[in-house]
Amino acid sequence: MSEGGSGHDSAVGSVPHRSVLLEESMHWLDVRPEGVYLDATCGAGGHTEAIAKRLTTGRVIALDRDEQALRIAGERLAPYGDKVRLVHAPFSDAERIFEDFKLDRVDGALADLGVSSMQLDNPERGFSFAGNEPLDMRMDPTRGEAAWRVLQTWPEAEIARVLFEYGEERFSRRIAKRIVEQRRGAEPFTGQSLRQLIVEALPAKARHQKIDPATRSFQGLRIAINRELEELETFLDTLVTRCRPGGRIVVISFHSLEDRIVKRRFRDWSKPEYGPSEGPPAPATRPVLVRVLTRKPVTPSDGEIEANPRARSAKLRAAEVLGSAE
């Protein structure tokens, strides 16, 4: 689910939502009217609707692990009838979805990563700094442990590692130490209390930044809670085997770690793979799997960023599948 939008506003179920890089993603996905597509992160349904509008006899299967988002998307997408199928599932379950729908291949797939405005702006979901509810951060509240429970039990070293590796927070050890000191009480962390703790743990000069000083820590914790990087790797590895030749894989990321995974996967798949270098030259053990379509990531226009500041960090990469990894 996305963190921002393309300037295409919608208010579905009283929840405003803007789909990031909407026209750009449709350009690179290159929807065929009779094709079958996978929208791995339905959210409020903006990208799903854009795909459905381009279909005649085709269909789009839209996944999301947030049931609330799927309910909202369902209202928006109802006019498209059987062209759209909504499924409550993380995109790492794509292989199971193919089996459930008895699909061999799709003609393309889109993944818009990150957290939606619906989640960020709803304090009850436990993502925001402003929330006074126990900090949850799960995109699917029916799976895994809430963030406040994790912070009560994880070793200090593990908290520091997550904040440093996933949040790229250079003061992760100071913050982790303060979390462990504060958790001796029985009260669960809320968005407000965790943010205040983080700010107090930082050196005075690090408290004044362009972004909120707690942003990196919250981001790192959210990525770990939802296993976002592992989910992305699993999804990509499935799609390179499940897209028809000529099919497109389009990914919009909002974090350098996500973008790095996509960039490396596309780069590696765009080159043949060989066996051991010893001995005489041998044929490739794996052929070229994709053609990278975006030499550099596609980013939002100034106008889109002005309309939706959360779109600022979005990067789109696209690749065309040439063959199968199987």
Contact by Cβ (8 Å): 19, 6:
yes
Contact by Cβ (8 Å): 323, 288:
yes
pLDDT at 156: 97
Select the more confidently predicted residue: 277 or 67: 67
Alpha-carbon span 139 to 33, nearest angstrom? 32
pLDDT at 298: 98
Q: What percent of the chain has pLDDT over 90?
A: 72
Fold of 141-225: DNA polymerase; domain 1 (1.10.150)
Q: What does the block give as tokens for 122?
A: 């709803």
The rounded mean pLDDT for the chain is: 88
Select the more confidently predicted residue: 273 or 223: 223
Alpha-carbon span 307 to 5, nearest angstrom? 8
Domain boundaries, the chain: 9-118+228-321, 141-225
Contact by Cβ (8 Å): 98, 88:
no
Per-residue pLDDT tens for 80-121? 999 999 999 999 999 999 999 999 999 999 999 967 655 555
Kindly report the CATH number that applies to the domain delimited by 9-118+228-321: 3.40.50.150
Select the more confidently predicted residue: 22 or 6: 22
Average pLDDT rounded to a whole number, residues 293-315:
93
- Residues 6 or more apart from 54 whose CB is under 8 A from it? 26, 31, 33
pLDDT at 275: 60
Contact by Cβ (8 Å): 73, 51:
no
Average pLDDT rounded to a whole number, residues 35-42:
97
Does 262 have pLDDT greater than 50? Answer: yes
pTM of the predicted structure, to 2 decimals? 0.87
pLDDT at 167: 94
Confidence band (pLDDT; 50, 70, 90) for 15?
Answer: very low
